[in-house]
């Protein structure tokens, strides 16, 4: 009955929302910054735009990255050229950025300000573990640091946007445009928290549940797992990398607009770290079912800031032709069908509808 109710409520919310793009009354471009624009991220976001899941009139995208990241961005350039995608441009930042100067004026500060002024919103994608040094903790044996300069660049960008406890005298860029849209997905949410002075749980199974083996984790209640640990026991490439589980949302206004109601939608997660202490002015918007893991955050002063720990963006959730297995003995199944059968797919559509609305209604001041 709960699944049916969720489906009915969310169907009413999103009814007819994809028949046409959200119209921007101003003919000017709406500019979105995509941070870490790998071929994979560009492909999935372009899919969302093509399918009108993200629906913004006159959208242009600037993919922003740092030259010291480990990824080869010539792959992104070739992808855009081969697909003839003209509304997305790439911008490399090569100014020096170090762990020691993330939370202060640095060589990237003017670039952050320039990008902010000429855009309407920014989206930070998922990725690998954050270096614990940037939130002043020792490094767990289970933390894997693989792309430090990406983290320095993104954490500093989010600090410049939102401010943080580390430097209370700094004036955040969003003070100039409080309705500016800032979304962070998975790592993006974690970086948002760390950038504003928060801290991290470096491994959920060991620190939260006192579990020390994969087998113990797989015996947990499904809603207490946050990635697919079957992958630790097999090289089966047909398995989902992440895990489907329910979350608790006391009220959904920040996610899907003005509707206020409690929901327990099914979501897809792929992480082993989580927020511990909240950063400056951040608030909890959703938790795991057992209330031990923060699943979404918002901001006290800036209404269009949203961090979500789960993934609403993957093409494997929206394309019914893409199928994987939850466990080795299962049949292949589309993430789309898993969400649909639970009554939670419309929730994912509504997240992107609200993102599109926020982005479209931004002030057009790009002076």
Q: Is residue 17 part of a domain?
A: no
Rounded Cα distance between 220 and 46, Å, is: 36
- How many domains are contained in the chain? 1
CATH number at residue 205: 3.40.50.880
Residue at 46 is within a domain: yes
Distance of alpha carbon 173 from alpha carbon 158, whole angstroms:
10
Q: Is residue 80 part of a domain?
A: yes
- CB-CB contact of 6 with 95 (8 Å): no
Helix (H, G, I), strand (E, B) or coil at 348: helix
CB 145 within 8 A of CB 129: yes
**CA dihedral for 186, 70, 181, 155, sign (positive or negative):** positive
Q: Which two tokens stand for residue 308?
A: 């979500």
CB 260 within 8 A of CB 251: yes
- Assess if residue 52 is contained within a domain: yes
pLDDT in tens, 192-221: 999 999 999 999 999 999 999 999 999 999
The single-letter DSSP state of residue 265 is: -
H or E element: which one contains 256? helix 253-256
Nearest one of 302, 273, 303, 297 to 283, comparing CA atoms:
297
Residue 300 lies in a domain: yes
Per-residue pLDDT of the chain (367 residues; tens, 9 = 90+): 555 445 544 544 444 444 334 434 445 899 999 999 999 999 999 999 999 999 999 999 999 999 999 999 999 999 999 999 999 999 999 999 999 999 999 999 999 999 999 999 999 999 999 999 999 999 999 999 999 999 999 999 999 999 999 999 999 999 999 999 999 999 999 999 999 999 999 999 999 999 999 999 999 999 999 999 999 999 888 999 999 999 999 877 777 776 667 789 999 999 999 999 999 999 999 999 999 999 999 999 999 999 999 999 999 999 999 999 999 999 999 999 999 999 999 999 999 999 999 999 874 444 4
Dist. CA 4–CA 76, nearest whole Å:
41
Q: Model confidence over 220-260: pLDDT tens digits?
A: 999 999 999 999 999 888 999 999 999 999 877 777 776 66
Q: For residues 34 and 269, what is the distance between their CA atoms, to the nearest angstrom?
A: 21
User: Residues 229, 272: contact at Cβ < 8 Å?
Assistant: no
The rounded distance, in Å, linking the Cα atoms of 11 and 350 is: 9
Place of tokens 């441009």: 89
Residue 256 structural domain: 2-12+29-360
367 domain residue, yes or no: no
Strand 274-275 and strand 59-66: the pairing is: unpaired
Residue 85 lies in a domain: yes
Within-domain flag for 18: no
Calpha distance 232→14 (Å, rounded)? 38
Dist CA 173 CA 152 (whole Å):
18
Both tokens of 206, joined, read 């060991």
State the helix-helix crossing angle for 345-360 and 335-342, rounded to 10 degrees.
Answer: 100
């Amino acid at each position: 009955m709960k699944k049916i109710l969720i489906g009915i409520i969310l169907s009413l919310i999103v009814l007819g929302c994809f028949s046409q793009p959200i119209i921007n009354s101003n003919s000017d471009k709406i500019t979105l910054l995509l941070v870490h624009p790998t071929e994979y991220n560009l492909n999935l976001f372009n899919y969302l735009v093509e399918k009108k899941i993200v629906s913004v009139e006159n959208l242009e995208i600037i993919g922003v990255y740092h030259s010291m990241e480990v990824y080869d961005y010539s792959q992104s350039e070739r992808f855009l050229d081969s697909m003839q995608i003209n509304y997305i441009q790439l911008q490399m930042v090569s100014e020096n950025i170090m762990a020691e100067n993330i939370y202060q004026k640095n060589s990237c500060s003017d670039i952050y300000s320039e990008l902010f002024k000429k855009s309407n919103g920014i989206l930070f994608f998922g990725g690998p573990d954050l270096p614990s040094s940037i939130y002043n903790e020792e490094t767990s044996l289970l933390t894997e640091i693989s792309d430090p300069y990406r983290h320095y660049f993104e954490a500093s960008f989010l600090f410049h946007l939102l401010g943080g406890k580390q430097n209370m005298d700094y004036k955040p860029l969003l003070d100039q445009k409080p309705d500016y849209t800032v979304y962070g997905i998975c790592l993006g949410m974690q970086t948002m928290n760390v950038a504003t002075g928060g801290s991290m749980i470096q491994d959920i199974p060991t620190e939260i549940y006192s579990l020390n083996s994969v087998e113990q984790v797989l015996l947990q209640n499904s809603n207490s797992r946050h990635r697919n640990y079957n992958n630790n026991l097999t090289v089966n490439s047909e398995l989902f990398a992440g895990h489907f589980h329910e979350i608790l949302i006391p009220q959904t206004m920040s996610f899907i607009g003005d509707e206020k109601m409690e929901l327990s939608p099914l979501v897809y997660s792929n992480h082993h770290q989580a927020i511990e202490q909240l950063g400056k002015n951040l608030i909890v918007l959703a938790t795991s079912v057992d209330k031990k893991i923060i699943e979404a955050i918002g901001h006290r002063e800036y209404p269009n800031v949203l961090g979500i720990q789960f993934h609403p963006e993957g093409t494997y959730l929206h394309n019914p032709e893409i199928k994987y297995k939850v466990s080795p003995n299962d049949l292949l199944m589309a993430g789309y069908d898993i969400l649909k059968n639970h009554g939670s797919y419309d929730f994912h559509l509504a997240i992107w509808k609200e993102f599109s609305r926020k982005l479209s209604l931004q002030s057009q001041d790009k002076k």
